[in-house]
Amino acid sequence: MIENNNIFLVYIFLNMQKQMRPWVYALMYKDDQILVVKKWRWPFTGMYDLPWGKIEHYEKHIDWLKREIFEETGLMENEFEIKKLLTVEETFATHVWQKNERQDHIIWIVYLVQIITQKIHFDHKDDYWDARGSKLIDMDDENIQKTHILQQAILEFRKGKDL
């Protein structure tokens, strides 16, 4: 009986280490520029990415997207408009988290969001996020390092919109 329980516990542990992670991103644009945020954590330190976050189990992804946009950029809901679902991407990643190897199935849900406010202030700061790492860039700016998902989102954006 104990042997079977140990096998069951190992099964649960292994399945806890394999997770599906839905993340929502916002490709935010104003005129011919896009808003990016600077990454502060390894392994993407110094790279630029889209505003994003992991969906919580109690939250609808659109509500989450609006909240995350505010937290990462300081933009209020009346300062942007969610236009459409831009793309859904996925990857499988193996990484170390808290000294354990994990395998994640990551789903990226990317929305196209138009910034409609005339002035953007990157001075928002909360307990977790500092929007001072945010800025507007030209999509073709080769002087900044872009994350993979930012590069993919720009490609999808160009397919569907002429700037």
Q: pLDDT tens digits for 110-126? A: 999 999 988 776 655 55
pLDDT exceeds cutoff 70 at 139: yes
The pLDDT of residue 65 is 87
Helix, strand or coil for residue 71? helix
Q: pLDDT tens digits for 21-49? A: 778 889 999 988 898 888 776 667 788 88
For residue 139, the one-letter residue type is M
The pLDDT of residue 5 is 46
What are the CA-CA distances from residue 34 to residues 22, 27, 51, 99 (Å)? 23, 7, 11, 36
**CB hemisphere CA count around 58 (13 angstroms):** 0
Measure the CA–CA gap between 104 and 91, rounded to whole angstroms. Answer: 8
Domain residue ranges in the chain: 19-160
Q: Which of 111, 115, 18 is nearest to 61 (CA)?
A: 111
% of the chain at pLDDT higher than 90: 11
Contacts of 50 (CB under 8 A, 6+ apart): 25, 26, 27, 28, 36, 37, 110, 147, 149, 150, 153
The pLDDT of residue 114 is 94
Q: pLDDT tens digits for 82-103? A: 999 888 888 887 766 667 777 7
The pLDDT of residue 137 is 83
The pLDDT of residue 79 is 93
Q: Which tokens go with 149?
A: 């998902």
12-38 burial: b if 16+ Cβ within 10 Å, else e: eeeeeeeeeebbbbbbbbbeebbbbbb
The pLDDT of residue 78 is 93
Q: Which CATH class is domain 19-160?
A: alpha beta
Bond preceding residue 43 cis, omega within 30 of 0: yes
Give the predicted TM-score (pTM) of the model: 0.75
pLDDT exceeds cutoff 90 at 52: no
